Amino acid sequence: MRKKRILPHIVALIAALFIAGLPHGIGILPTDTVAEATEIDGIGATRERVRRGDTFDIVVNVPATNNTADTVDIRIAFDPTVFEVRSWRPTINGSDVMSNFSNTDGFLALVAANVYANLNNGLTFTASMKVKTNAPLSTYEFRLSRAIIDNYDTKYRWVPQTTGINVRVSNETASVSGNVSLRSAAPITVATAVLRDSEGHSVSQNITLGYNTRTGQYEGSYRFDDAESGADYTITVSAPGCRERTETFNTAYSLTILDMPVNMYGDVDGDGDVTALDATQILRFLAGSPSEIKGLDGITDEYLRSVGHVTAGSILTVQDATQILRYRAGFTSVFDGI
């Protein structure tokens, strides 16, 4: 159908007539993972695991090229018994784009003829989708069933790397919660918790820490209620001047309680100060003697090992102990940059 240049005009005209009577969406919800999805060459989703009633974005991304396109013609197929389109208003700067969708037949489409769009920066088209409240729990594909961006003079033709994206509908939720605590001579009143799923999507939460006179610690708590049940996650807690702590777990229960104590850089024994005693713990560990890092049970506390590892090297060495001693003695050390 693309032997002559006139045809795209006709396609666009038909599309324009066809969309005239269709309802428009109700606005695109911003999400913090759109940038990630737009790095895809082809089709992507801002969320690959959703629950009934959730909204998310389907993104079609055409990577940057030096070619000039005559025609943009895209169609995405989805299961209309599971998803519905909230908004699909693709635009190309300076061009008229005919867009169309059907929540009955399950597709999103756009046609733009003779757009001569400058593809130097690439093109991104976003549809806001909603999971129907009665959607069966399963995995569904959004398929880029038509993806044509070409130029009749240069014969440029886009071949997307990703033509399908799976979105899993699950309706079981799990919560993850825990206390965050640290000892520090100077007040540390804020921390951050980041919950990350196995696909790399993450949500973060700011934690306010208060000083507990009974325990002598700065303490606060985090809680995430939007996790999926039975899935693998990591949680990472960070605080100023402290070694970040990451734990991996599975939401096997409806509530997972994971306390996340953190230590200041170099404070191996966790007393809130960086002293020669911390350097001693490192040296004992390196010598194979029992220490805070590896006790008599022979189990190495990987977090405390990372707390003692203050230099940029790949493993804990005597250099780490030396830096702690230098810092304590008032010499220049890696602590100057913390």
Closest to Ca ion by CB, 132 vs 284, is 284
Q: Where are the beta strands (DSSP E) in 119-162?
A: 123-131, 139-150
Strands 202-208, 190-197: pairing is antiparallel
Site for Ca ion (CB under 5 A): how many residues? Answer: 5
Question: Which residue number, 120 or 289, has a Cβ lying nearer to Ca ion?
Answer: 289
Here's the x/- map for Ca ion, 64-103, by CB under 5 A: it reads as: ----------------------------------------
CB of 267 to Ca ion, least distance (A): 4
d(CA 118, CA 4): 21
Q: Is residue 320 involved in binding Ca ion (CB under 5 A)? A: no
- Which residue number, 54 or 273, has a Cβ lying nearer to Ca ion? 273
Query: Exposure string (b/e) for 78-101, b if CB count within 10 Å is 16 or more?
Result: bbbebbbbbbbbbebeeeebbbbb
CB under 8 Å, gap of 24 or more: what pairs does 225-229 form?
Answer: 225/173, 225/175, 226/173, 227/173, 227/174, 227/175, 227/176, 227/195, 227/197, 227/251, 227/256, 228/49, 228/51, 228/170, 228/172, 228/173, 228/174, 228/197, 229/170, 229/172, 229/173, 229/174, 229/254
What x-and-dash track marks residues 263-282 binding Ca ion by CB under 5 A? ----x-x-x-x----x----
Could you say which residues in the range 10-39 bind Ca ion, by CB under 5 A?
none
From the list 15-23, 128-136, 142-150, 262-270, the region that binds Ca ion by CB under 5 A is 262-270
158-177: contacts with Ca ion (CB under 5 A)? none
Nearest to Ca ion of 147, 307 (CB atom): 307
Give the rounded distance of the alpha carbon of 185 from its chain centre.
34
User: What minimum distance in Å lies between the beta carbon of 272 and Ca ion?
Assistant: 7
The answer to whether 236 touches 149, Cβ cutoff 8 Å, is no
Q: Smallest distance, Å, CB 310 to Ca ion?
A: 12
Short-list 275, 254, 258, CA closest to 335: 275
> Which one, 36 or 271, has the nearer CB to Ca ion?
271
- What is the footprint of Ca ion within residues 290-309 (CB under 5 A)? none
| Shortest Å, Cβ 275 to Ca ion | 5
- In terms of CB distance, is 44 or 308 closer to Ca ion? 308
Shortest distance, position 217 Cβ to Ca ion, whole Å:
14
Least Å distance between CB 243 and Ca ion?
Answer: 12
Separation CA 151–CA 72 (nearest Å): 10
- Please identify, using beta-carbon distances, which residue of 70 and 292 lies nearer to Ca ion: 292
CA 53 to chain centroid, in Å, comes to 21
Interacting residues toward Ca ion by CB under 5 A: 267, 269, 271, 273, 278
